[in-house]
């Protein structure tokens, strides 16, 4: 199985930065511009890790994580989800953790933090 990383962010710029940062991990990138599309892709494509923004139109990242965790498909339900946030508050992280997020990365995203966090999940936690 190839290693797919799903990037979910409404900003093409952010998705491009994440793609550049992840190049050295030799993973395939799957992109979604919103959480609805990401949920569709998760049902169709095997994904090793999801990196999702918290602040997105239509469905936010926390609701997205809840949807993923409620999936009837085992491989979707257990996929690690890393949430990106520009907000500093702990409340958002707590809500994300309660929803089932596996990790959080503060925006602006640092290359080292992103690759270190993603690598943890690619190597089985």
* CA 81 – CA 8 distance, rounded (Å): 10
Token pair recorded at residue 50: 């999801």
Where are the chain's structural domains? Answer: 4-109
- pLDDT tens sequence across 46-105: 999 999 999 999 999 999 999 999 999 999 999 999 999 998 888 999 999 999 999 999
User: What is Dmax (Cα atoms) for the chain?
Assistant: 37
The per-residue pLDDT for 123 is 78
* CA 89 – CA 68 distance, rounded (Å): 23
* CA 59 – CA 102 distance, rounded (Å): 19
pTM value is 0.96
* CA 78 – CA 70 distance, rounded (Å): 10
Q: Is the pLDDT of residue 124 over 80?
A: no
Picking from 94, 8, 108, the residue whose alpha carbon sits closest to that of residue 49 is 8
CATH superfamily, domain at 4-109: Response regulator (3.40.50.2300)
The per-residue pLDDT for 39 is 98
The per-residue pLDDT for 125 is 52
């Amino acid at each position: 199985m190839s290693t797919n990383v799903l990037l979910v962010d409404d900003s093409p710029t952010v998705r491009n930065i994440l793609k550049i940062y992840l190049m050295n991990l030799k993973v395939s990138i799957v992109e979604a511009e919103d959480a609805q599309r990401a949920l569709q892709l998760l049902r169709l494509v095997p994904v090793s890790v999801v990196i999702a923004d918290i602040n997105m139109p239509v469905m936010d990242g926390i609701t997205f994580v809840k949807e993923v965790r409620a999936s009837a498909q085992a491989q979707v339900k257990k996929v690690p989800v890393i949430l990106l946030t520009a907000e500093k508050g702990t409340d958002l992280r707590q809500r994300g953790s309660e929803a089932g997020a596996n990790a959080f990365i503060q925006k602006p995203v640092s290359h080292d933090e992103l690759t270190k966090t993603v690598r943890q999940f690619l190597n089985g936690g």
